Amino acid sequence: MICILLVAGHGTVLETQIKNDDTGLYSLLRGVPKALLPGIGGKKILDFWWETVNMRQLFTEVYLVTNADKYKHFERWATANDFPVENVINDGSTTLEDQLGAVADLQLAIRSRKLQDDIMVIAGDMLCADQNFDVAQVIRFFRSKPGELIIYYELEESEKSSSRGIVEVCPDTHRITRFLEKPQEGLTDSRLASVVFYCIQRDTLSHLSDFLSLQPQASDRSFGRFWEWLVNDKQLDVFGMKLPTGFQLIGQVGLSDYTKWLTHYSTKPQDNPAKPITFRSYARVGLMGNPSDGFNGKTIAMSISNFWAEVTLVESQTLVLVPHPLNDPTEFGSLQDLFCISRKEGYLGGLRLLQATCKKFYQFCSKQGIALTKQNFTLKYDTNIPRQVCLMKFYNITDNDLPKPIRANFILNVETDELFITAGLQDRVVQVYEGLVYMDFSKKLMEEQGYGNYVPMDMSGLPPFWLAYLSDPSDSGRIHSNIRQRWLSGEPLVVEAMKTFAELTDKARMALRARDWSSLAQLMDQNFELRRTVYTDDCLGPGNLKMVQLAKQFGSAVKLPGSGGAVVGLCLDNARLVELRQAFQEAGCVFCVITPYNPSASTVGGQH
């Protein structure tokens, strides 16, 4: 691949204002080309781009196209920065009036050097808010698509779409469906702005001549007009890739705009990389319908603040995953100590989940056309969840990039695809949405949109749910047994049971809305008995059955909140609830009254 840096524009406004500035602050910048003005971090703007593309493993050659008026400046710059002077191309223009136009400058480079390869085009006088993005990831995404590539970013609130080339992008294919050059207000709802950063296939380069023949005026030979023609008129396949950072093309801006954007980008949070990012994810309990979430059923689940997992991420030189001293032990008192801990807790610490999440996050962003910055971090976690991630914030990935329903699928895929853990969507959905959530996983929804219908519910005035769990928890995967195979084969008992779980969930939803706690308690009992019928006692295990039996002795509704090792209940008699707690504790179980976690009433960050 060949890279071409374009710096041939004539910035008469900025240059004139610097020349006429009487404060003396900019006297050293008089006559300096836009691309050689100071950029972020004290570097010249062009220095950053040269450092970004100066990689022989990615580019066979890098060329620089400038004008005759500033040619000497760039020749000196090339000599000082180990840029091949013979690759600096002079387009012959000396003023704004006799300029060739950006597309014509690109065509000049291609023809004069007889280039026959894929081309990356970048405006060398463009300020970039983030100095660490990975250009190799851009090239990989370009290679994966059957067309051209346009880099875009999401406009900040202060930026107007009428000042930029705006793209409309298909979220599924990443194909650019429409390109609008500086559209008037109301023409599009898109806030995705294209910048002069493109990848063009060698077979498409011939279209440059066709476009130029249609545009005799240099002012119309801009890349914005070219992409409008190529996307809207020619309807060629052009794809978009998002960089989670901002860009500003110096172009025809004045001194105040240049200094404003330079200051704005230089004071972004990235200048304080040591500040840690912390997010907390709360434990979840399935109140109704589980385990039908994996069988096109319906469920209701709730976040609880009694138990949580917390992840802290801070920028560092290398990427480090810190083992948890209790959950990821690497040092033991003796071989017997290792044996006892491994027998009770297994080998499934949190470190492998963090590693799998990081891997899938990079894979997801690459596939979705989101280029990540080349930043590393140290990641550590803590949890008080009994045995049985902030990446989005760090890389400036928005909810539009990774919507909540897709995020739930992503988290589930980390467990099922990477770690082969038996799991369903219910926990992942409530983990992302938080609070009390009704979920419909019907086959029609899942096949048409790839996710279900997820509805947050009112959490005010909930009754006193309780949770109890075994001090020696079971493996959360065993209880799923062979149900999936039986369901896929169409066994009537299993198929009808999953439909009944969904019906119970709809009834529970109405009971929650009506504050009918007695009906809700009866439905919880029915949920357990139905599960027991389908899964059998052997599968549920003696520990789970013992806890259920104990709860029933005190008149409490009870069911399994997840895969096993714990029970959730609803006891409407406060006096019996006290007795129930004591009975569970005497039986060697851990018991607590649930504190629901309401995200609308909390400022603590959730799962990312």
Q: How far is CA 495 from CA 436, 483, 485, 525, in A?
A: 27, 10, 11, 20
216, burial (CB in 10 Å: exposed 0-12, middle 13-18, buried 19+):
exposed
Comparing CA positions, the residue from 501, 519, 502 lying closest to residue 510 is 519
Distance CA 469, CA 384 (A): 13
Within the chain, how many helices (H) and strands (E) appear?
20, 21
Strand partners, 63: 4
What is the DSSP track for 254-286?
-HHHHHHHHHHHHTSGGG-TTS-EEEEEEEEEE
The packing angle between helices 12-20 and 255-266, to 10°, is 90
DSSP state of 179: E
Distance CA 195, CA 222 (A): 12
Task: Give the active site residue among 105, 427, 440, 525.
Answer: 427
Distance CA 178, CA 180 (A): 7
573 catalytic, yes or no? no
Distance CA 595, CA 158 (A): 41
Residue type, 24: G
390-428 burial string, b = 16+ CB within 10 Å, else e?
Answer: bbbebbbbeeebbeebbbbbbbbbbbeebeebbbbbbbb
Active-site positions read 427
